[in-house]
Amino acid sequence: MTTHKLLLLPGDGIGPEVMGEVKRLIGWLDAQGIARFETEEGLVGGASYDADKVSITDATMAKALEADAVLFGAVGGPKWDPVPYEVRPEAGLLRLRKDLALFANLRPAICYPALAQSSSLKPEVVEGLDIMIVRELTGGVYFGEPKTITDLGNGQKRAIDTQVYDTYEIERIARVAFDLARKRRNKLTSMEKRNVMKSGVLWNEVVSAVHQREYPDVTLEHQLADSGGMQLVRWPKQFDVIVTDNLFGDMLSDIAAMLTGSLGMLPSASLGETNAKTGTRKALYEPVHGSAPDIAGQGKANPIAMLASFGMALRYSFDRGDLADKLDQAIAAVLAKGLRTADLQSEGSTIVSTAAMGEAIVKEMQALHG
């Protein structure tokens, strides 16, 4: 049996708690001989700053480059507000994305039947929702230069961020999105702001060209990102796959998360280019939610987004779609039984701790395995 090399980076806040539930699941899979994992653990974010005065060390970066996949918890918190910008907790995550060249961020928003009532939207709007947001992750305003604050000397300062996209960056993320659409309901919606931004004009042009050249069988639609955000809350089931840039993708995926009942439900996969020789690709898996310092250490966090992120690793890095499907089934079953973490509270449900939720999901996996 293949041994999968995993680097675990729990990070800050609720990161270690939700990662604990992945460790429980990995331990069970190992013990049952269902899959083999070799795990190493490292520091990232504020935890790394406290230990080493950087948001991720070169040694940990080297381990990330060697691993088959990285599992990432969350970073940040008010404790590190005063630290220099270059070594703020988030910088560790951005370095991982950039140095591992993880340009494709997949954020599936699925509304489990049992959670249609938990969304802030009407149940009929979200029931049965299954959409995929594909966010470009290594370009755009997150990394564009110049990125500066200059003192103008007259009591004024000037801040500059740069939104920049080259053709190849748009082409490769468009291909990831078109490929996914082909395996789903064959529809792609591209979102940008071509009415205001040059990068939006090019984005629109390039996605259309890739469509014409390589994917004429897929239905392509363009929406302006602001109106796309409105459509996401008005009637989200019109979408199948959405492709958008780094910043719009950040915002739109948080919006989409609430369609699923809670931000604590959304997993993500960040993928690099497939190596033509080995057929493998660099990958990092993380929940979309943050470090939630307000509830950290209290056993209140929802581990489902982290567990489902591990599920995406099974699917996209380890070719174990069978196990990923079982994990999704187990999550659905536990929710159907009425178990909820505090973020999902609804009438008639039982509020359980992070650990109890993780335990229940592993038990359900056990039942599914007979």
From 161, 165, 166, select the one nearest 146 (Cα to Cα).
Answer: 161
Q: Is 193 a catalytic site residue?
A: yes
Q: Among 193, 282, 300, 326, which one carries the catalytic annotation?
A: 193
35/255 with CB nearer Mn ion: 255
Q: From CA 164, how far away is CA 142, in angstroms rounded?
A: 9
Q: From CA 112, how far away is CA 324, in angstroms rounded?
A: 15
Pick the piece of the chain touching Mn ion (CB under 5 A) from 11-19, 28-36, 172-180, 245-253.
245-253
- Buried residues in 300-328 as b, exposed as e (16+ CB within 10 A): bbbbbbbbbbbbbbbbbbbebeebbebbb
240 binds Mn ion (CB under 5 A): no
CB of 77 to ligand IPM, least distance (A): 11
Q: From CA 242, how far away is CA 140, in angstroms rounded?
A: 17
What is the DSSP pairing of strand 157-162 with strand 283-285?
unpaired
Residue nearest to Mn ion (CB): 250
Q: Is 155 exposed, middle or buried (0-12, 13-18, 19+ CB in 10 A)?
A: exposed
Instruction: Provide CB contacts within 8 A for 324, sequence distance 6+.
Output: 311, 312, 314, 315
250/286 with CB nearer Mn ion: 250
| C-alpha distances out from residue 293 to 12, 230, 340, Å | 8, 29, 20
125/251 with CB nearer ligand IPM: 251
Q: Is 142 a catalytic site residue?
A: yes
93/202 with CB nearer ligand IPM: 93
Q: From CA 261, how far away is CA 332, in angstroms rounded?
A: 13
286 binds Mn ion (CB under 5 A): no
Q: Is 53 a catalytic site residue?
A: no
240/250 with CB nearer Mn ion: 250
Q: First vs last Cα of the chain: how many Å apart?
A: 21
**Binds ligand IPM (CB under 6 A): choice among 192, 250, 343, 364:** 250
Residue 131 binds which one of ligand IPM, Mn ion, none, with CB within 5 to 8 A depending on kind? none
Q: Is 30 a catalytic site residue?
A: no
Q: Which parts of 129-188 interact with ligand IPM (CB under 6 A)?
A: none
Residue nearest to ligand IPM (CB): 90
CB of 164 to Mn ion, least distance (A): 20
| Active site residues per annotation | 142, 193, 226, 250, 254
Q: Which residues bind ligand IPM (CB under 6 A)?
A: 90, 93, 250, 288
